[in-house]
Chains A and B, each alone.
Chain A
């Protein structure tokens, strides 16, 4: 009976066991994937993956056996590391010793063993990720870069060398579709990242690995924003602005290109030469060009210079009453006074001048003829009788300013150089000329009534006067020495004529003044006053005194008033024009003193001590300053002369 009862119980036992729907109980599944890791080579943890539980509560157990020992130990700690784990602390951990680990799953039905695993702690090191990740933005010469720094995981003992860690970091822009950029940092705990994008946000992570182990997990992400590059935007603005201004400037220049060209590159003036044909020059035929320049009279093609010379002025000094001057029709030049620059030897005494004059009277004639041959021309003017005389007087008396009216009748503008020289009939005019000259001389010295006895004086005084107008009118260029000689002779003749009463008749005053005369000599007693005649005046115009600081070393000629006209160095081109018939006639007032004071009686006009004339004979313009005083002083004298 009992046996039957046991069998029945056994058969009925499953019936008493509660049934689940469709579940079959089984042994637990085999735990798999046992993985052990050690974070610092001092402890380690093993995890397993449990199998099916078989429908029944299953417990897991880990057993291990050390190398060289058969003792089986069970996991000391199932909880620290979580579920399905086993944690081995320091006491339970040995290195360079193999562990043989087995996990057993147990449920009501049985146990299931996993496959054993042999591990060595030193081979399963996987550290924790680095800690204290810091990222800062730094600047390298204005360019930003990231400086990343971190600390090794807390538990890893790198100080003693127990663990040697190698680090790696990765960077990524906070954008979609951006890739991680990995950098191996080696054993250092700091790393620099360059080539950043301004204004971008970066993500940075770092991990580590022991020299012979597994990589750690990536650390927590660190975010960093790179600041904007402010200077770039500023520079862009500046660039745009300057480009804009540049465009405007270019447009302005383009609009005013024409006027700018005129301003920067003024057109080259063409030649203004009478007879000069630019077209001919362009054509390249130089012969034609130069032939056009050749005027009939200039340059002198003939060697007959004698013809070209100005005719001499015959000056003879009649008596006072006969001092009549015809008003010359030819007012080419002014001749006033007689140049006292007779002697080159300034050392002659004033008293000797008479003797000299006497001696030279004959020589004057010879010179006169010579000069005739030379062809010098001295413009002369003749005037009517008394009227002219008076006018002459007035003219000559006005040292400071020659009245235009008066001078107009006497002064002739300079003719063109190229204009043909009109010969001047000497004969009828000679006496007049001489008279003029004489008159001039007398006039210049107003204190002496014109008279034969005083004529000498007058002349002398005229010579001595500080007022002397000399104009030379020469059509042809001639050596200055000739003029000089002529002048000298002229003066000599005048003087001699005055003294002797015989006037060389053949003295001609040139009608035109074309060239410069170098006044080289003066008698000691002579004072030459040179009136400047303003330029641009016609023949009829008077020579007005112009107090310029000009160089009056050039003698233009002698006008009808026996005044030596010195041409001022023309500043303006126009006065030098040869084409124009009107030439300015300058008479400059220059007080020229001989170096030796005159001892003969004469009007006590202030004598300049200074040597006005240089050795070369050029009138020293420096004396112009002193002229003012003289001129002023001469005024009262002139007034007196008018009364004469």
Chain B
């Protein structure tokens, strides 16, 4: 749906150049929540308001057809582009860490530490943007992590499976992991947990909402498994208000 919309070369009817109000609503964006706005602008590049998928629209002037504005939809190509920036940057980071530390275990630890530092701050951004209330139990927490948090930051929705009988452990199954696009693990790094940053993020973020958890990868597509699986285990509730620690 979004792809077809982006191939439009002329503004939807009723819209005149210079109009700043969005005239095109969400009828094309049946699969995306929220309203879709398209703003024709006088000249140059500027950004529209939040479009589908929570990302911004940018109307771009075509060099060869002055006067026509083409909506450049992030969901079609640019979100691809900005997710590539993210994937490539993460890859460069892991590569640099592998050069700096001799063994994979140290790299794994560093990734976890970095993830933790990100997580303790990310939780604030998440709570501010998502407006979710307090979770009443670990099941609700799992739902929020998979359906809201992962969707917001990585654009994917992992599924939740394998609940332990006591309800304190579950698995997040990621069909595709945006961090590992274009990535192959070389043979001499077989014990590297490439996406270990994610475990640190989960651990740090949940610690800031009074939950001590353990997160670890039990399956990884990079190592030949069919899916990527993160096992989350609830350790205990943190009663004291720990200061936002940095390791």
B and A form one assembly? no
